[in-house]
Amino acid sequence: MVKRALVVLVSLFLAGTACAAENGGSIQIKGSDTMVNLAQAWAEKYMEENPADFIAVTGGGSGTGLSSLISGSCDIAMSSRNIKEKEISLAKQRGVVPFEIKVALDGLAVVVSPLNPVDRLTVDQLAGIFTGRITNWKEVGGKDEKIVVLSREVNSGTHVYFKEHVLRGNNINSREEFTPNALMLSSSQAIADEIAVNPSAIGYYGMGYISDKQKAVAVADDEKAAYVEPNIENVISGKYPISRPLFFYTNGQPQGLTREFVDYALSKEGQDIVVKTDFVPVKK
Amino acid sequence: MRKLKEFIIDKLIFICGLASIFFVILIFLFLSKEALAVFKYVSPVDFLAGKRWYPISEPAQLGILPLIFGSLMVTLGAAIISIPIGIACAVYISEVAPSGIKEFLKAGIELLAAIPSVVLGFIGMVTLVPWVKRIFGLPTGLTALSGSIILAFMAMPTIVSIAEDALYSVPKNYKEGAFALGATHWQTIYRVLLPAASSGIVAAVMLGIGRVIGETMAVMMITGNAAVIPHSILVPVRTLTATIAAEMGEAVVGSEHYFALFAIGIVLFIISFIINVSADLFLHKRS
């Protein structure tokens, strides 16, 4: 929360000073909360090397970023999910052509309290827990306790990704939904905090938020497959089943400063920053 | 010249007087314009009585019954907690407390009113929520009860200060008359002062409830936001206000989700309108 507020403040400040710059340009980046820290790290390094340019980064959620791109109020939208058909057609109506660039990967960790004896689950069991078919920990080898399901709010790209890829198993005709009993929390940090104090809770978020107070469970595609821990090697190799690409969207092919910044993010140096902020690089 | 001045001032005050009504009508019209579009996608009955709220699915399921019940449950809980305590507090301050304590209490209550709701929500999240979980042995402390307790804190200053004003403005001779007839202090309060101040006290309660039902930030932080119809006060709920606040950022402008959020706004508007009108009717019946 505090971190996000700071990012917003810093970017507002930068946006304000940007007008004062004479030679350099300025760009606005907006979108996924998952990616705010990463984009901010890129922006800081980039501005160190190019003091004339200003890059403002704000969060708000993937949907927020994409709708700003469509309405023309940002240059790059960060998104932790693919753009929807509906958004593309809305963009075309306004003369915006979304151009997709994959900038990093993220492993989605499923987390429980360290006090919870369960430390491995299959994707099918996860789907059962989050849709409400499985409601007691003893059904998946834990204590006789009710499962408290935690989820992000619907404005989160993480929420949408988890629904489509875990609950619905990538099947576009599936109608599975989160159980209505799921607690909807407004940030990944709120989920991490609740997991830390609640031994019967289960939640999900980007790998970057795992600390000593949460335990990431190993996940397997099905019972016969190996259980895989969420870490950088397993996400790069594709062994970990719940990983997703993170995108930048621009209006058409990136031009000028936007292009330079995207190139920087994809450079060796940019991808090193990806590793430092606990995400997974697109190129090794 | 003087006449002209009088005329201008007269009309200016007239316009200011109408302004509030004018704004309410404008807000209502704007809300309606955006909200009515949702009924192209879902019938009013399915919207108000539907039990599933999945706004971003294809096709979207837009039933707000769980949200209405969530709001009502939290508000009812807060009312049950804050009304007796608030009125008792007002009676104590206006009738019983010695003047030193009286000033001290009044300052304290004003201070309580000044705490921003997000701070109360934060305090609730780190202290009250674990406490509710432990005492009732629940799977999670993010429940309607936690929300009700925090909202009771927010309604209390309104109830106390307005009810205290109402008690204070009861004519002195009522009290003196009661004493002269041999009534005890408690009998005087219970049989004379409270009935005499009842219209003001009802107004205090209604304003307190009005604040509770419109509160957003604190409930969003501590009620868990699960869109199910609550069967007790010890389960998570999702309120109308929290739904608008949490989802407005994502809703694609012009989608059924966007219109549905405006329609929720209308529902809230109508609920607070009913509360105000019933308070008014009650006051007029009394006088």
CATH number at residue B53: 1.10.3720.10
> Per-residue pLDDT averaged across B269-283, rounded?
82
Residue B238 lies inside a defined structural domain of this protein: yes
Token digits of residue A155? 């404005």
What is the average pLDDT across B198-223?
89
A155 in helix, strand or coil? coil
Find the residue in A nearest to B254 (Cα). Answer: A90
d(CA B220, CA B226): 10
Residue A257 near residue A27 (C-beta atoms within 8 A): yes
Per-residue pLDDT tens over the stretch B105-125:
999 998 988 999 889 998 998
Q: Give me the pLDDT at residue A86, please.
A: 83
Domains defined along chain A, listed by start:
2-105+245-276 (3.40.190.10), 107-243 (3.40.190.10)
Structure tokens at A135: 């409601």
CB contact under 8 A, A63 and B54: no
Please check the confidence at residue B173 and state whether its pLDDT lies above 60: yes
Check B140 against A180: CB less than 8 A apart. no
Residues of B in contact with A186 (CB under 8 A): 220-221, 246
Chain B nearest-CA distance from A65, in A, is 9
Q: Are strands A218-220 and A215-216 parallel, antiparallel or unpaired?
A: unpaired
How big is chain A, counted in residues? 284
Q: At what angle do helices B144-168 and B65-91 cross, to 10 degrees?
A: 40
Per-residue model confidence (pLDDT) at position A80: 86
Question: How confident is the model at residue A21, as a pLDDT?
Answer: 39
Please report the pLDDT score of residue A263 as a whole number.
Answer: 92
Q: Round to whole Å and give the CA distance between A279 and A109.
A: 12
Provide the pLDDT for residue B285: 63
Averaged pLDDT of chain B:
89
Is residue B145 over pLDDT 50? yes
Quote the percentage of chain B above a pLDDT of 70: 98
At residue A20, the pLDDT reads 40
Interface of B with A in 74-93 (CB under 8 A): none
Whether residue B151 has pLDDT greater than 50? yes
Name every residue whose Cβ is closer than 8 Å to that of residue A90 and which is 6 or more positions away in sequence: A70, B252, B254
Q: Is B1 inside a domain boundary?
A: no
DSSP 3-state of B134:
helix
pLDDT at position A18: 42
What's the domain range around B68?
44-283
Comparing C-alpha atoms, which of A26, A40, A66 is closest to residue A249? A66
Decide if pLDDT at B92 tops 80.
yes
Q: Which segments of chain A have a pLDDT < 70?
A: 1-23, 283-284
Does B35 fall in a domain? no
**pTM of the predicted model over 0.90:** no
Q: How many residues belong to chain B?
A: 287
> Which pLDDT value is given to residue A4?
54
The predicted structure's pLDDT at residue A10: 52
Instruction: Give the closest-approach CA distance of B136 to chain A in angstroms.
Output: 14
Nearest Cα of chain A lies from the Cα of B172 at a distance, in angstroms, of 53
Tell if the CB–CB gap between A194 and B255 is shorter than 8 Å: no
User: B91: pLDDT confidence band, cut at 50, 70 and 90?
Assistant: very high
Average of pLDDT values for B73-101?
Answer: 93
Residues 6+ apart with CB under 8 A from A265: A42, A103, A248, A271
Q: Per the structure, how many domains does chain B have?
A: 1
Q: Give the mean model confidence (pLDDT) for residues B246-263.
A: 84
pLDDT of B200 strictly over 90 = no
Question: Residues A135-172, buried b or exposed e (16+ Cβ, 10 A)?
Answer: eebeebebeeeebbbbbbbbbbbbbbbbbbbbbbeeee
